[in-house]
Structure 1
Amino acid sequence: METKWYEDGLKMIEEMTTNAEQIQDELLRGILRRNAGTEYLRRFLHGQADKQLFKKNVPIVSYEDLKPYIDRIANGETTDILLAEPITGFFMSSGTSGGQPKLTPVTADVTKKNGLFRNLFESPVMKQFGDINEAGKRMEFMFARPEIETPSGLKATSVTTSIYKGSGFRAMLPKLYTSTVETIFCPETQQSLYCQLLFGLIQRDEVVMIGSTFASTLLRAIKFLENHWQEMCSDIKTGQISHRITDSGCRNAASSILKPNPVLADLIENICNCKSWEGMITKLWPKAKYVSCVCTGVMKQYTAELEFYCAGLPLVSALYASSEAHCGVNLEPLCKPSDASYTFLPNMAYYEFLPVRNDGDKSIETNSNNEDPEPVDLVNVKPGHCYELLVTTSTGFYRYKVGDVLMVTGFHNKAPQFQFVERQNVILSVDQEKTSEADLFKAVTEAKAVLDPIGLILSEYTSYVDTSSAPGHYVLYWELKEKEGKPDPKTMVECCFRMEESLHYTYKIYRKNNIIASLEIRVVKQGSFEALMDYYVSKGASFSQYKRPSCIKSKEALKILDSRVTGKFFSPKSPL
């Protein structure tokens, strides 16, 4: 039964990618027919549903352009100012990757498509491991986010929370997952995490998959276990949950699963009580076949540390999605995270791609008036080229800039495959130079190679521009994990210089002319980025959807990191 489900999913992917252009055109036609009469589109389409008129007249927009309409709906106006279909609520983004949380209207069509997408993305993953649903359980760290009621009475919640609230998910939860609904909906994150780890340890012989939405959450869970395994072993030995767990739902769930088991407690204690935690995931959960979490984009920095704990288990980045649209699946999930490409599914949204010129890239042609290049359709993108993603959906997002830059790596049938490159925003700038997320990641990658020979792992980093003195300079916060050695000043100064050497030409010219001061790395003590995450979660960010910001703008967040600095190091000379 399960095998047929996977086969049907793969067959559907083949059919959709083969007929990608036709499906895209039909999808856009349907969206325009339904919504051409809305207040928003009527200004541009005059009631028509023509594709060429759409491309000519409807502007390319960001969230700020649509926010006034969404706010009006949230405040009680009728939805037909932006979309024709009635909405059932809003999805709320985490707000940690791009600033403030965003509201996305949710309709019955969206709910149906998201359900289909989840089934399709599991098909290429599961087929690699056989009938995994029948083989055991998934230890997946899941955290519901509190709903917010808008003035209209409609609820706003995260995409993942909407899944957890569904009756279908709740029905299959006891069979497929080690966590319980009480732990997922526990309002206290630390208690939820403790119980989910504890329940996963108790059911260790059934666990065949370990995962979370993002790599950062999974690493947070492992580090939490490093600090609390002794307490959990005591719980397992006595059959009594720790006094730290005060949530009644979690305590009730524990009472049904927690029985005295001294043998299991001693086994786990012997495994955990070691000098190095290298390979600990495979030791604690020996039947696990893979680790599932997003390891691409801003999550790439966590790959090395996850591999340290996984000891050879595949790291699977299965999907590419956002609150606005679920887009692509990884049809080769066993590839290295750095090689992961996502095949876009043409039935999820209408896609356009705005060519992005990288430094030195002469391949992007402007029109005769030397204006910006025009967006291209899904099937017309070119391998090796970079594009900013635009989506048009039935929920009122028309020619909407998601903010992601993607590179075409190839095609599956007629549907392109993309790798995530960066968020389309300048994150650091002292003067006129513009340093992107990709620029910063490249420089950090070059610099952290200095750490490898001495057995150090860069587990977390972020940045900001310090303009408290003139000239201003870039500041990097690094949290290091000691695998074997310890950081020394000479090594850290070399890391600073390597970073500057790896940054773009404009930055280096400005450094040479003293328009930008020496780059600085501030090493923070372990646990600092956990405190940063706790801060953003306390401000409303979703624990399971948290993305570590590449650049810190919040003064309070900077205070958290600066209070934990153990060393400051500067580049010794200009990189030119």
Structure 2
Amino acid sequence: MRACPINCTAVKQQLMTCSSITNDVDRMSRGNIPCRSPAMLPDFDPNDTEAGMKILEDLTENVHRMQQLVLEEIITRNAHTEYLEGFLNGQCDMQVFKDKVPVVNYEDIKPYIERIANGDSSNVISAEPIIELLTSSGTSGGQPKMMPSTAEDLHRKTFFYNLLVPVMNKYVDGLDEGKAMYLLFVKPETKTPSGLMARPVLTSYYKSSNFKNRPFNRFNIYTSPDETILCSDSKQSMYCQLLCGLVQRQEVLRVGAVFASAFLRAIKFLEDNWNELCSNIRAGRVSDWITDPSCRNAVSLILGKPDPELADLIEHECGGESWEGIIKKLWPRTKYIEVIVTGSMAQYVSTLEFYSGGLPLVSTMYASSECYFGINFKPLSKPSDVSYTLIPNMAYFEFLPVNKNHDDVQCNGVCKENCGEDVETVELVDVKLGQYYEIVVTTFTGLYRYRVGDILMVTGFHNKAPQFRFVHRRNVVLSIDTDKTNEDDLLKAVTKAKAIVESLGFLLIEYTSYADTSSIPGHYVIFWELTSKGSNHLPVLDPNLMEQCCSTVEESLDSVYRRCRRKDNSIGALEIRVVQHGTFDALMDFCVSQGSSVNQYKTPRCIKSEEAINILDSRVVGRFFSRNAPYWEPGK
């Protein structure tokens, strides 16, 4: 295979002012290490705050040069893959890449990824071997998307995680004086016909040698043994991790999970099981139903001898009249709660604040299955003020300008985008303050000018690196956990369900929805306005029939929703609320009063405004829930 060698001298000249990275480029030019991206992942001690912050300052000061280096290396390495060869004809020029390689969606690259999943060579899209496929939670109408991953990509993620340590050390003292009670879980995985594993990105990382052999610096000493994190039974894993966290309560300085929804699910689990947990602590013995041997052995070592005093203390706190501030009561040395509370997770902020006892809510990073993007340089900022600084050596970033519709903001609380197909992309250094963009990535793992689907707003700059606030996912209207249901998927599911009532002479006039997170777990709520054919009278509704409608909607939603609902128990039973005649007219009147145009008004398919939800709720005449969780199995 032909190669387009990187001009290491030119690269070195580009990066002379980026000292920590220039050292690696020096070694490249001397032939000590290969001309490839590890040169842009400098080794450093995460506990050395000064060294870590110096790397971040270098990266954010030299954004343009680093982005050029990243794109040059990706093109050079992959120009002769089947995908790029068709556009570049062997050329390794960056401008030719931008002129010839199209901006794509997942459906455009899906056939190439499926070929690899079915046994074709990685060289279809990547010069480096694809070692696994990462299943994305963002899916439409079926199976999760699959993103290619290489061995080197694990090192890039590890470098990214290590960068979080100096940032937190800068803002929070004494993190080396205790442990983190991070509740981390693995998800189901499958094998593709080629033998490659297909699994979520975090499951991939937790099962990797990078995680298992991590150096025990102050940022990754966890109360949970690895055996409990890697336990495939989510209930056993949750129970054991909470048990370990309670036993080590005086050592805990930080608590959290990846998503706010997962952490709140753990709190609900604790509410339901604290009596049994206290019994284990009092007896010094793990419950018999914990049958995973490695998990049981690891927890038993931590549990140790009986501790009735600790059991009494936990019983006293958990048995009180209110669980307000329970986190601070059970783990009194905790300095902050680390969970993602941006995007769809923002709906959980008020509930987290109730349980937190005034602790800061910290969102450290912005990442996805496709790529790790950015770091929150001000981790103690309020959730509503969180912005992420994109790290320029993670991938090559471009941006599609997005136009926002003011009328939609007024009525619905969500913004609709208008990205024309002919809109030119903007480079990372050229984005404008206050403007909205959809992020496009070119990665080291075989994605080229790929639309991630995230809408971001530029909020500022750190040195020359733009900072972004995550606004929302493109086209996603409902999300409780890792599920992402878009408007089309919701329409298809409702269409199947309404056929049941329409066969009996009823009509579905209108519908809308929202994600109800007032209880744990949250659940989808769909408002229906029904009438009898030929009249405006509300039909007499058969509860069994309506429950069947709820189940039909759930069975029609994608596999990620069904997995969260059935296996993870992270989403509650779907609910249909039937409203009285004229309710959606009242909703339109409200939206118009808030500034929407009468001529352009369309019923929003997802409601964010509390006032709008109250209008609908005040006219509910019947509430019905799905009786059984929908069918799901891995790979189906």
TMscore range, shorter length: 0.7 to 0.9
Distance 1:2 1:567, change over 3 A: farther
**Matching residue's letter, 1:161:** T
SS in structure 1 of the partner of residue 232 of structure 2 = coil
Residue equivalent to 1:261: 307
Identical positions, percent:
49
Match of 2:334 in 1: 288
Stretches of structure 1 that go unaligned for 5 or more consecutive residues are 429-435, 440-461, 483-495, 497-516, 518-527, 549-556
Secondary structure of the 1:211 match is: strand
Tell me what 1:66 maps to. 109
Q: CA deviation at 1:539?
A: 5.4
User: Structure 1 residues 242 and 546 mapped into 2: Cα distance closer, same or farther (>3 Å)?
Assistant: closer
**Could you tell me how far 1:2 is from its partner in structure 2?**
6.7
> Quick check: 1:273 aligned with 2:323?
no
2:149 corresponds to which of 106, 116, 121: 106
Matches within 5 A, 1:111-510: 111-132=154-175, 134-171=176-213, 176-258=221-303, 259-360=305-406, 372-425=422-475, 427=477, 466=494, 468=498, 469-476=507-514, 478-481=516-519
- The answer to whether the 8 A contact 1:537-1:543 is kept is no
Offset at residue 171 of structure 1 (A): 4.3
Q: Could you give the per-residue CA deviations for residues 518-553 of structure 1, whole angstroms, max 9, x where no partner exists?
A: xxxxxxxxxx9xxx9xx96795569999997xxxxx
Higher relative contact order (CA 8 A, sep 6+): 1
Name the CA shift for 1:255/1:547 in 2 (closer, same or farther; >3 Å).
Answer: closer
Cα deviations across residues 418-467 of structure 1 (Å, max 9, x unaligned)? 00011111649xxxxxxx9999xxxxxxxxxxxxxxxxxxxxxx999855
Offset of residue 329 of structure 1: 0.1
Larger radius of gyration: 2
CA deviation string 1:132-156 (max 9, x = no partner): 1x21111011112344222222222
CA–CA distance in 2 between the matches of 1:321 and 1:543? 26
Change (3 A) 1:386 1:309: same
Cα distance in structure 1, aligned partners of 2:445 and 2:193: 19
Relative to 1, partners in 2 of residues 1:3 and 1:381: Cα closer, same or farther, differing over 3 Å?
A: closer
Q: Kindly tell me: are residues 538 and 376 of structure 1, through their superposed partners in 2, closer, same or farther at Cα, counting changes over 3 Å?
A: closer
The reply to whether residue 8 of structure 1 matches residue 51 of structure 2 is: yes
Structure 1 residue 300: Cα displacement:
0.4
Q: Would you say the 8 A contact 1:297–1:421 is kept in 2?
A: yes
Instruction: Give the letter aligned to residue 36 of structure 1.
Output: A
The 3 A distance-change label for structure 1 pair 17 and 53 is: same
Give the TM-score normalised by structure 2: 0.70
SS in 2 for 1:86: coil
1:5 positional shift: 2.2
Q: Whole-Å Cα distance in 2 between the matches of residues 544 and 405 of structure 1?
A: 30
Query: Deviation of residue 311 (structure 1)?
Result: 1.6
Q: Is the contact between residue 400 and residue 426 of structure 2 (CA under 8 Å) also seen in structure 1?
A: yes
Counterpart amino acid of residue 312 in structure 1: G
SS at match of 2:337: strand
- 1:373 aligns to what SS in structure 2? coil
Higher mean displacement: 229-238 or 88-97:
88-97
AA paired with 1:218?
F
The count of corresponding residues between Structure 1 and Structure 2 is: 487
SS at match of 1:397: coil
8 Å Cα contact 2:387-2:467 kept in structure 1: yes
Q: Is the 8 A contact 1:145 1:542 kept in 2?
A: no
Q: Which amino acid aligns with 1:379?
A: V
| Structure 1 CA distance for aligned equivalents of residues 180 and 310 of structure 2 | 19
| 1:78-93 alignment runs, 5 A limit | 78-93=121-136
Q: TM-score, with normalisation over the residues of structure 1?
A: 0.77
Contact map agreement 1:427 1:437 (CA 8 A) in 2? yes
Separation of aligned partners in 1, 2:183 and 2:82: 42
Give the structure 1 partner of residue 574 of structure 2: 561
1:369-397 C-alpha deviation (Å, 9 max, x unpaired): x9742110000000100000000012110
Deviations along 1:15-35, whole A, 9 cap, x unmatched?
011000010011101111111
* Residue identity opposite 1:26 in structure 2: L
8 Å CA contact retained: 1:24, 1:350: yes
